[in-house]
Chain A
Amino acid sequence: MEPIIIEGTAKTPSVRFDANAGIFEIKGRSIPENSVEFYKPIVEWLDKYKENPLSRTEVNIRLEYFNTSSSKCILDIFKKLEAIHKAKNEVQINWYYEEDDEDMLEAGEDYESIIRVPFKMIEISD
């Protein structure tokens, strides 16, 4: 399966989902006006990956900012990962936040409380 690679912009994150390595990454800022449009191909890609996932998938979320409309799309992505996990595959979500960024840590904890997938909160110190 081809990886999905999207370069980052000022308002959208860089995305690199590699189905062969089982490593997915979303990094940067996610503040577009139309988040659904941006995330749609990623969610569709996950639907395909879900049919035949690796036994272990690791997901790295390193966001500096995200807006509330992205927050729903990120939840959609996590729900796909939850389904993969539920089908007896290992899935791990690493949620990165910068030192002192309690808001970003709390946002990760929100997802952790909604989604039944193991989360790891990782502080980035400068």
Chain B
Amino acid sequence: MGFDVESYLKEQKSGEVVLYYKGNIDSDVINHVLDTVEDKLIQRNEQAKLRKKVYNVLVESLQNLYHHVDKVPKDFEDQSAEKYGLLMVKKIENGYLIITGNFIKKENIEKLEERIKRINRSSQEEIKELYKFILNHQRITNKGGGGLGLVDIARKTGNKLEYQFKEYDNEHAFFYLNILVDNSEQ
């Protein structure tokens, strides 16, 4: 099994890589990634609407990593990263593909997968109601997240969340999330 990020990334939709990062996800990294991607989208003269959606989705996906990743396995090559995550932003035909990756303990897979499935089987209208319900009824957890990140991403993109859990060892898997931000609905 093990860890073959590169081959996973190669299997995904082809396109120009706007940004690729793997390592510790801290506040400075988040700032840097956001600034870099924002500048690149402006350089590419992307429409404000698409730019804002990409930015919003990046904020939520990076902060999901920041708040929720599980610790890296003990034999993992990069032990320096307290919050290890991966991020790739790719320019594809009519938008951007944002891929994130992080370790997850196997016992946490079921809960996460159930949340994603719930979002993916909901209509846009249901997602909007779900967002409002969580906003109004759930407190912010001590981890800082509000349980709204994935719902917000699905709402803003209008696309299903694509994901995979790749086994790493007996206790850990690596979780990939592919988010498509495109212009297709407009």
A44 sits at the interface (CB 8 A):
no
Q: Is the interface of A mostly helix, strand, loop or mixed?
A: helix
B73 sits at the interface (CB 8 A):
no
B95 sits at the interface (CB 8 A):
no
In the bound complex, do residue B27 and residue A33 qualify as a contact, i.e. CB atoms below 8 Å apart?
yes
In the bound complex, do residue A110 and residue B52 qualify as a contact, i.e. CB atoms below 8 Å apart?
no
Q: Chain B residues near A65 (CB, 8 Å)?
A: 52, 55-56, 59
In the bound complex, do residue A103 and residue B52 qualify as a contact, i.e. CB atoms below 8 Å apart?
yes
Q: Count A-B pairs with CB separation below 8 Å.
A: 69
Q: Mark B36-69, 1 if CB is under 8 A from A, else 0.
A: 0000000000001100110110011001001100
In the bound complex, do residue A100 and residue B149 qualify as a contact, i.e. CB atoms below 8 Å apart?
no
Closest to B66 in A: A33
In the bound complex, do residue A101 and residue B49 qualify as a contact, i.e. CB atoms below 8 Å apart?
yes
In the bound complex, do residue A68 and residue B149 qualify as a contact, i.e. CB atoms below 8 Å apart?
yes
Q: Chain B residues near A71 (CB, 8 Å)?
A: 135, 146, 148
Q: Chain A residues near B145 (CB, 8 Å)?
A: 68-69
In the bound complex, do residue A31 and residue B156 qualify as a contact, i.e. CB atoms below 8 Å apart?
no
Size range of the chain B interface in the assembly: 20 to 34
Distance (whole angstroms) from the CB of B85 to the closest CB of chain A? 13
Closest to B47 in A: A100
In the bound complex, do residue A68 and residue B152 qualify as a contact, i.e. CB atoms below 8 Å apart?
yes
Closest to B25 in A: A33
In the bound complex, do residue A10 and residue B31 qualify as a contact, i.e. CB atoms below 8 Å apart?
yes
Q: Mark A61-89, 1 if CB is under 8 A from B, else 0.
A: 00001011101110100000000000000
Q: Which residues of B contact A (CB under 8 A)?
A: 27, 30-31, 34-35, 48-49, 52-53, 55-56, 59-60, 63, 66-67, 128, 131-132, 135-136, 139-140, 144-146, 148-149, 151-152, 156
Additional 7 contacts, C-beta under 8 A, given A33-B63, A72-B146: A31-B59, A33-B144, A69-B144, A69-B145, A69-B148, A100-B49, A110-B132
* Those 10 A-B pairs whose CB atoms lie nearest each other, nearest first: A68-B148, A68-B152, A72-B146, A67-B59, A31-B59, A69-B146, A72-B140, A68-B146, A114-B136, A110-B132
